[in-house]
């Protein structure tokens, strides 16, 4: 699901979709906490434990963060993207 901004900048409609998805992803306090923990280098088990989430809950939030361009996942490895770094500037 490695989508880039360039694929969404071709038209106004695609740009709106990009911004909509991004806004949905970062609008949740729990997802912002997840972003901070990913940025700190925590693994998925540590994030799950720290936020008292079960496997399904964490996977749900990770999917939305990925869909919203905030993280990139490769199996158990999660990396924060430039878009995900917004967590440094909010709250």
Task: Give the chain's domain count.
Answer: 1
The domain that holds 9 is classified in CATH as 1.10.10.10
Q: What six digits make up the tokens of 77? A: 């490895």
Q: What is the pLDDT of residue 2?
A: 47
Domain that holds residue 76: 5-89
Q: Between the CA of residue 13 and those of 1, 10, 16, 17, 27, what are the distances in Å?
A: 20, 8, 5, 6, 21
pLDDT 10s per residue in the chain (91 long)? 344 555 666 788 888 888 899 999 999 999 999 999 999 999 999 999 999 999 999 999 999 999 999 999 998 899 999 899 987 777 6
Q: What are phi and psi of 59, to 5 degrees?
A: -60, -40
């Amino acid at each position: 699901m490695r989508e880039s901004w360039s694929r969404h900048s071709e038209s106004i409609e695609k740009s709106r979709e990009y911004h909509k998805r991004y806004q949905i992803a970062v609008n949740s306090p729990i997802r912002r906490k997840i972003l901070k923990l990913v940025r700190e280098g925590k693994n998925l088990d540590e994030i799950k434990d720290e936020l008292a989430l079960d496997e399904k809950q964490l996977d749900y939030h990770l999917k939305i963060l990925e869909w919203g361009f905030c993280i990139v996942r490769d199996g158990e490895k999660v990396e924060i993207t430039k878009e995900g770094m917004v967590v440094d500037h909010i709250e």
